[in-house]
């Protein structure tokens, strides 16, 4: 890997996974829905200003906008709502990251049903082993005498389901002939707009838009908007231009250990031996899911 690519990959991993830490920093000042509403309202505005300045903004019609808005609602809205709800229930950030790391495995295993592309045995085996690794880790963390604890650790599975569905929908758009694909910036605008609109209802009616506009909250929001949502996303597409998408996707598997380390530095979260054992099992699942693909490249 070239130095520039390595630098971009390192920056992406650090910025992307700092989102878990930033979210936990922001939660004392607002509810999960409100924090995300402000984030995506501001993000929608920033992208709109950029598109207008570049004279790229346009209405594309519901036939094109609707699928992109649904993808955004799942990949941004539901995904992050589940993450924040879990963090709000005191689930450690590193464990949340470990659970949502199942998404690339699930997408790889299920993509054949959507696109007609073959799904090999090792992908299913990798997904199964990854799931077992997560179950192993979480089983030592859950207080089974508390329904709230059990529910808290199950919430991130909603993130996995939502972003897997969004990824499969996006993949179908990519491979289906005759489907109109939007430029990245315009697609991101519609995705963020849908997320902000969907979050408005629970923000107002459940959390009453309650927000403590303290400096720490404002700094956190600036970081989440520009460093995570725009910075990490931009680095991801720069990486895709340099290396294949599969290798970029594999960077998401660095999320759990990086997030665990960040959470230890930021909040003193302790990493248990069972966390590392579960992480190792998930890693083996990741290797297996790529095994057949690597073999086919060598032939």
Domain of 132, in residue numbers? 3-298
The per-residue pLDDT for 198 is 96
Share of the chain above pLDDT 70, in %: 87
Rg (CA), the chain: 19
Tens of pLDDT along 228-240? 999 988 888 788 7
Contact 210, 28 (CB under 8 A): no
Token pair listed for 154:
């199950």
How many whole angstroms separate alpha carbon 99 and alpha carbon 156?
A: 6
Q: How would residue 278 be classed by pLDDT, with cut points 50, 70 and 90?
A: confident
Residue with the bigger pLDDT between 184 and 245: it is: 184
The least confident of 44-53, 56-65, 124-133, 148-157 is 124-133
Contacts of the segment 236-242: beta carbons below 8 A, 24+ positions apart: 236/12, 236/16, 237/184, 238/8, 239/5, 239/8, 239/9, 239/12, 242/2, 242/4, 242/5, 242/8
Q: How would residue 299 be classed by pLDDT, with cut points 50, 70 and 90?
A: very low
The per-residue pLDDT for 115 is 62
Tens of pLDDT along 168-201? 887 777 666 666 788 888 999 999 999 999 999 9
Count of the separate structural domains present in the chain: 1
Q: Is the pLDDT of residue 284 over 80?
A: yes
Tens of pLDDT along 143-157? 877 888 888 899 999
The per-residue pLDDT for 114 is 64
The per-residue pLDDT for 180 is 75
Q: What is the mean pLDDT of residues 75-84?
A: 93
**Predicted structure pTM score:** 0.85
């Amino acid at each position: 890997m070239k130095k520039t690519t390595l630098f971009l990959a390192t920056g992406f991993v650090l910025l992307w996974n700092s989102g878990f830490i930033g979210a936990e920093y922001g939660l004392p000042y607002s509810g999960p829905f409100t924090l995300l509403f402000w984030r995506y309202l501001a993000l929608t505005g920033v992208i709109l200003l950029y598109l207008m300045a570049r004279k790229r903004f346009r209405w594309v019609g519901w036939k094109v906008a609707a699928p992109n808005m649904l993808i955004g609602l799942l990949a941004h809205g539901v995904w992050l709502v589940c993450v924040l709800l879990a963090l709000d229930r005191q689930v450690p950030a590193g464990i949340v990251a470990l659970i949502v790391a199942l998404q690339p495995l699930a997408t790889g295993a299920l993509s054949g049903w959507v696109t007609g592309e073959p799904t090999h045995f090792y992908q299913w085996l990798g997904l199964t082993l990854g799931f077992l690794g997560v179950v192993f880790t979480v089983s030592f963390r859950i207080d089974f005498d508390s329904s709230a604890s059990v529910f808290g650790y199950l919430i991130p599975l909603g993130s996995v389901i939502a972003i897997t569905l969004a990824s499969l929908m996006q993949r179908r758009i990519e491979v289906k002939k005759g489907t109109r694909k939007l430029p990245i910036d315009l697609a991101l605008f519609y995705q963020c707009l849908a997320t902000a609109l969907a979050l408005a209802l629970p923000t107002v009616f459940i959390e009453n838009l309650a927000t403590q506009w303290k400096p720490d909250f404002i700094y956190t929001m600036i970081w989440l908007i520009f460093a995570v949502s725009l910075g990490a996303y931009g680095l991801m597409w720069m990486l895709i231009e340099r290396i294949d998408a599969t290798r970029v996707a594999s960077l998401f598997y660095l999320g759990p250990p990086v997030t665990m380390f960040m959470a230890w530095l930021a909040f003193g979260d302790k990493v248990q031996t069972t966390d590392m054992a579960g992480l190792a099992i998930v890693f083996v699942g990741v290797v297996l899911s790529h095994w057949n693909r690597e073999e086919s490249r060598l032939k």
